[in-house]
Amino acid sequence: MSAELRIRNLEKRFGATNLRPAVDDVSFTIAPGEIVVLLGPSGCGKTTTLRSVAGLEKPTGGTIDIGGERVADPVNKRFVLPQHRNLGMVFQSYAVWPHMTVEQNVAYPLRHRRIGKEQTKRKVDEAIEIVGLGAYRERPVVALSGGQMQRVALARSLVYRPRILLLDEPLSNLDAKLRLRLRDDLRTIIKDAGVTALYVTHDQSEAVVIADRIGVMKDGKLLQLDDAITLYNSPADVFVANFTGAGTLLAGRVERVAHGMALVQLDDVPYSVRTRVPDDTAPGDRVLVSVRPENVHLETERREDGEMAGIVKSLQYEGTQTAYRIMVGDKEVHCTELGTRPRFAPGDTLFVWIPPEVCWAFHARAGTATSH
């Protein structure tokens, strides 16, 4: 039932050809049964990509294949209508019938598919079980919570075994607690259903929990498509690093490099840091070392060579963790420490240790911010 989705050089322009396309030369493939999440800020083109797969937008360039069938190819004037693509869709708003029960809602798409009563019942039961609503079968959907309604929408889009499931910010109308609960269940539900899924969100924590691979988009471009661990530890560029929360960028020059690790002399401070670097890095290269706040260690005494002396500029107590801004010379380093009691106060002096294996450097290009 699940199919491969193959997108090649997808382009969607909404207006004049001189305007930047909403989707700009995007290519990726989702394997059968795989979940890919498109992540990016508002306006980056993720919804337009999803709507192009759904057939709700007509692309202006490139091709889309679902299970080996070409469904969009503007150059050759091929366009398969949405209702002939056999896709399931779940959107922000719960598109459920308010006057029907859970069971009736889930059975609805099968009405028009000439499926026998027995088989309908079996499929409906299965879909309701998958989304965990077994106990609510007879309930009118108006008597359900937002999260439960969204589960109904999900069951209804899975019941006819679509080739691909498309989800556009399906959790964004839920309150924070429900959002977390359904977020944690969604991956299991989609995997249990065995369906290929394309999921769109601007919420990185949602993407990390749900995806097999995450595609980060910006200005219509797909910047990187990788599993979450690669994305968080080896971001392809500064935007991806920043968008996924790497709050510190330290500019410097490579002194030595061997086996994918380099020693980088930081600009304007008397410190060098060891960091992982791209393969094509050479001594003398200008780089930006990207550091995630949760990977920075703060020490009261210098224990290792390479620790940098710093002073606490400010802190934000967040209940289960404390976010610090530390000044190392004129450079600001962000650090987050887990724990319900802050260990440091503004003005405290300390030592900052950044383990080399969790540092990642990019080549510094003209025009990129060099430090903050």
Torsion angle (degrees, nearest 10) of CA 21, 27, 30, 31: 160
Interface ranges with ligand ATP (CB under 6 A) = 14, 22, 40, 42-48, 202
Q: Return the number of other C-beta atoms located less than 10 Å from residue 39's C-beta.
A: 26
Residue (40 or 55) nearer to ligand ATP, CB: 40
Ramachandran bin of 170, using left for φ above 0, alpha for ψ from -120 to 50, beta for the remaining angles: alpha
Closest distance to ligand ATP from the beta carbon of 168 (Å): 8
| Cα 200 from Cα 194, distance rounded (Å) | 18
* Shortest spacing between CB 225 and ligand ATP, in angstroms: 15
- Count Cβ atoms below 10 Å from residue 42 Cβ, excluding itself: 7
For ligand ATP, give the closer residue by CB, 198 or 326: 198
Judged by CB, which is closer to ligand ATP: 217, or 350?
217
Closest CB 85 distance from ligand ATP, rounded Å: 19
H or E, element range at 107: helix 102-111
CB 64 within 8 A of CB 261: no
Nearest CB to ligand ATP, comparing residues 14 and 317? 14
Structure tokens at 265: 């002399």
Q: Least distance to ligand ATP from the beta carbon of 201, Å?
A: 8
Minimum distance between the CB of residue 40 and ligand ATP, rounded to whole angstroms? 5
Round the CA-based radius of gyration of the chain to a whole number and report it: 24
Q: Which residue has the tokens 């989705």?
A: 5
Q: Which is nearer to ligand ATP, 7 or 44 (CB)?
A: 44
Rounded least distance, CB 77 to ligand ATP, Å: 21
Least distance between ligand ATP and beta carbon 364 (Å): 28
Count CA atoms within 13 Å of residue 339 on its CB side. 9
Nearer to ligand ATP, 36 or 315 (CB): 36
* Residue 28 or 108 having the CB closest to ligand ATP: 28
Rounded to the nearest 5 percent, the helix, strand and coil shares of the chain are 25, 35, 40
- In this structure, the number of other CB atoms found within 10 A of the CB of residue 4 comes to 17
Q: How far is the CB of 315 from ligand ATP (least distance, A)?
A: 32
Please state, in angstroms and rounded to a whole number, the distance separating the CA atoms of residues 364 and 369. Answer: 9
Nearer to ligand ATP, 21 or 88 (CB): 21
Q: Residue 72 or 249: which CB sits closer to ligand ATP?
A: 72
Report CA torsion sign: 91, 218, 7, 82: positive
What six digits make up the tokens of 78? 């091929």
The least CB distance from residue 93 to ligand ATP, in Å, is 13
Q: How far is C-alpha 130 from the geometric centre of its chain's CA atoms? A: 24
Q: Are 138 and 170 in contact (CB under 8 A)?
A: no
Query: How does strand 349-353 pair with strand 308-317?
Result: antiparallel
